[in-house]
């Protein structure tokens, strides 16, 4: 097994001393499906729940989810079949017990979301309308507003939060770092709030538990489907507090992200896999359908297979993107089923009713994150994680389409089941022994460039070594200004280094991790996980063997 050097990064974020203090029983960090579900379920179980979110309530990734939420709800479908598809997509790296929880509790969790007021689409007979996406052998994706599933779920959850005045919400609040008690567990959290009055600037929330639901890390790369808030903050906060991060190398690149030109940066428009689920197909610049023969499911193969096929074709033919052909779906179908995508494409000068859509893979989802058990507990007492920030084990090396909203929903319900009985007393934080530091915000662009070139969809040892070297330098470049840009960039560097190291050490190709120098999956050498831990700014990585999990369940 190869090894990686220990890395030095800031042990905590350099920040002013807290200028205000408040208390809560539970602080939920993040306001997507995972965070709001946890808050709503906990509100009657503990005295005070505080939700903090970096922007406004609806600014996270949930809002942007198009395809839908997967659950065995259709006639003839079973949790077992959903489990098999999930394990196969996960390429041997899933935690089978976690997948079983996901698929068996999923249908009830979705029904509960409906009871809460989420308006999913129905067919003319009044039955829930279910579609198919990559890697699924059944129609099992519930959707809303055609392609606005996340927005509808977010709307329903915010409406429920507005009816729950006992939940306090603080918007524009960046989680800076955890405050730790004598036993190494949670004593609170420091926040930076762009507010007014008493809650402005850096403050401390003393609390008995923290639920991280702060989403992913897409802004590590130049192009991503993630919104601007996805800067890996929750993962970095957890790592600095002693939590284990697992499976960071498994970053999923969505195959069909609208290509807006090589200079386009940040959040890019997603063309949902559901468009292929409804019959669209990929073609190259000669009009040839290239997914047939690559996989039995052709254009609906698991996401990693399609992303790789597109990249291969791009490299072989020296083109910056491929094309999605959905013209035959027709104007009426497009308007009814995919109104959001249609409007987005048209706003970029492409009419999918008459034109091919230019598409290329871009960063979409972090399958890894804060390692949790089946109840969302991290290894840090009082710290829980759910949704994209977490690594519950359900996604393995490649998340199955539309399993992410479901994961947030199911595991937040589970956290709310166990957390109240496990609440710690309110403990006084110890003087923080960690060495503070900050990376300047101006290096973000350089970081994204190197991550995209060398730690992106296609990886090799030389590129990864270059990336590790540069990131090492960036991690020790001191910042002059203490501001949100520097805090976020420090988090991005911290997570990028860990991600690059895990990608370097995994000398095989598995799921969304694609090594051109090690093109085969290697179950002898690499069945298992890379876990990253940090102590006062020194992060180390270790391999934890575990048998591959994609045999017959």
SS3 534: strand
By CB under 6 A, name the one of 58, 148, 350, 401 that touches ligand SIN.
401
Total of residues contacting ligand SIN (CB under 6 A): 9
Q: How far is the CB of 255 from ligand SIN (least distance, A)?
A: 9
**Rounded distance between C-alpha atoms, residue 448 and residue 264, angstroms:** 13
Angle at 95 between CA 94 and CA 99, to 5 degrees: 85
By CB under 6 A, name the one of 37, 66, 129, 491 that touches ligand SIN.
66
Q: How far is the CB of 242 from ligand SIN (least distance, A)?
A: 31
Q: How far is the CB of 398 from ligand SIN (least distance, A)?
A: 11
Complex with ligand SIN: residue 28 or 362, whichever CB lies closer: 362
Which candidate, 299, 193, 176, places its Cα nearest to that of 234? 176
By CB under 6 A, name the one of 67, 216, 369, 537 that touches ligand SIN.
67
What is the number of other CB atoms lying within 10 angstroms of the CB of residue 330? 11
Q: For residues 518 and 509, is the Cβ–Cβ distance under 8 A?
A: yes
Tell me the per-residue interface mask from 273 to 312 with ligand SIN, x by CB under 6 A, - otherwise. xx--------------------------------------
Complex with ligand SIN: residue 24 or 72, whichever CB lies closer: 72
Q: How far is the CB of 53 from ligand SIN (least distance, A)?
A: 21
Segment contacting ligand SIN by CB under 6 A, of 8-16, 92-100, 396-404, 446-454? 396-404
Q: Does residue 61 interact with ligand SIN by CB under 6 A? A: no
DSSP 14: -
- Dihedrals phi, psi of 532, to nearest 5 degrees: -110, 135
Segment contacting ligand SIN by CB under 6 A, of 95-103, 341-349, 400-408, 453-461? 400-408
* Beta-sheet pairing, 383-385 with 173-180: unpaired
Segment contacting ligand SIN by CB under 6 A, of 120-128, 208-216, 355-363, 401-409? 401-409
By CB under 6 A, name the one of 272, 378, 512, 549 that touches ligand SIN.
272
Query: Which residue of the set 12, 96, 303, 510 is catalytic?
Result: 303
Segment contacting ligand SIN by CB under 6 A, of 206-214, 239-247, 266-274, 456-464? 266-274
Strands (E) located in 33-86? 49-52, 69-70
How many DSSP H helices and E strands does the chain contain? 14, 24
Active site residue 12: no
Q: Does residue 369 interact with ligand SIN by CB under 6 A? A: no
Residues whose CB falls within 8 Å of the CB of residue 421, separated by 6 or more in sequence, listed in order = none
SS3 475: helix
Segment contacting ligand SIN by CB under 6 A, of 183-191, 269-277, 445-453, 521-529? 269-277
> Looking up tokens 């022994």, which residue turns up?
433
DSSP structure string for 97-144: HHHHHHHHHHHHHHHHHHHHT----B-TTSPBPEE--TT-SS--EE-S
**Rounded distance between C-alpha atoms, residue 400 and residue 421, angstroms:** 33
Active-site residue set? 303
Binding residues for ligand SIN (CB under 6 A): 66-67, 272-274, 365, 401-402, 404
């Amino acid at each position: 097994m190869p090894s990686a050097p220990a890395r030095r990064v800031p042990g905590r974020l350099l920040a002013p001393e807290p200028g205000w203090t408040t208390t809560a029983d539970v602080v939920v960090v993040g306001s997507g499906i995972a965070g709001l579900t946890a808050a709503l379920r906990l509100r009657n179980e503990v005295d005070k729940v505080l939700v903090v979110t970096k922007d406004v309530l609806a600014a996270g990734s949930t809002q942007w989810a198009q395809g839908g939420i997967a659950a065995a709800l259709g006639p003839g479908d079973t949790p077992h079949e959903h489990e098999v598809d999930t394990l196969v997509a996960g390429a041997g790296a899933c935690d089978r017990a976690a997948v079983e929880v996901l698929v068996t509790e999923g249908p009830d969790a979705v029904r509960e979301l409906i009871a809460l007021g989420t308006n999913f689409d129905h067919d003319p007979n009044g039955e829930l309308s279910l579609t198919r996406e990559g890697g699924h052998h059944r129609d099992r994706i519930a959707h809303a507003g055609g392609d606005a599933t996340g927005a509808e779920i977010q709307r329903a959850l915010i409406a429920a939060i507005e009816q729950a005045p006992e939940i306090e919400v603080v918007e524009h609040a960046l989680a800076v770092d955890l405050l730790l008690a004598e036993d190494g567990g949670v004593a609170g959290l420091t926040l930076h709030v762009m507010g007014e009055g008493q809650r402005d600037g850096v403050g401390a929330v003393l609390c008995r538990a923290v639920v991280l639901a702060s989403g992913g890390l897409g802004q590590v790369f130049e192009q991503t489907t993630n919104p601007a808030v996805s800067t890996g903050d929750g993962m970095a906060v957890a790592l600095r507090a002693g939590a284990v991060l697992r499976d960071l190398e498994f970053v999923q690149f969505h195959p069909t992200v609208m290509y807006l030109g090589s200079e386009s940066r940040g959040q890019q428009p997603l063309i949902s896999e559901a468009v292929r689920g409804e019959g669209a197909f990929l073609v190259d610049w000669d009009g040839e359908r290239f997914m047939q023969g690559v996989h039995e499911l052709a254009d609906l193969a698991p996401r990693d297979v399609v992303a790789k096929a597109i990249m291969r074709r791009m490299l072989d033919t020296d083109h910056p993107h491929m094309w999605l052909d959905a013209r035959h779906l027709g104007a009426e179908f497009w308007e009814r089923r995919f109104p959001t995508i249609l409007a987005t494409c048209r706003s970029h000068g492409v009419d999918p009713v008459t034109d091919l859509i230019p598409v290329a893979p871009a960063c979409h989802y972090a399958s890894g994150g804060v390692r949790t058990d089946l109840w969302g507990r991290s290894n840090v007492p009082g710290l829980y994680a759910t949704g994209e920030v977490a690594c519950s084990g359900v996604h393995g090396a490649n998340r199955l389409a539309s399993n992410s909203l479901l994961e947030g929903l199911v595991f937040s319900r589970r956290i709310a089941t166990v957390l109240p009985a496990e609440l710690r007393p309110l403990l006084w934080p110890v003087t923080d022994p960690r060495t503070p530091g900050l990376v300047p915000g101006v290096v973000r662009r350089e970081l994204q460039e190197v991550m995209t070139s060398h730690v992106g969809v296609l990886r090799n040892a030389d590129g990864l070594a270059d990336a590790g070297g540069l990131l090492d330098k960036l991690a020790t470049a001191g910042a002059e200004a203490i501001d949100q840009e520097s805090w976020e960039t420090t988090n991005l560097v911290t997570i990028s280094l860990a991600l690059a190291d895990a990608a370097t050490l995994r000398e095989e190709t598995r799921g969304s991790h694609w090594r051109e120098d090690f093109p085969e999956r290697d179950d002898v050498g690499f069945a298992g996980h890379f876990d990253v831990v940090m102590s006062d700014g020194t992060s180390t990585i270790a391999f934890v063997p575990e048998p591959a999990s994609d045999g017959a369940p």
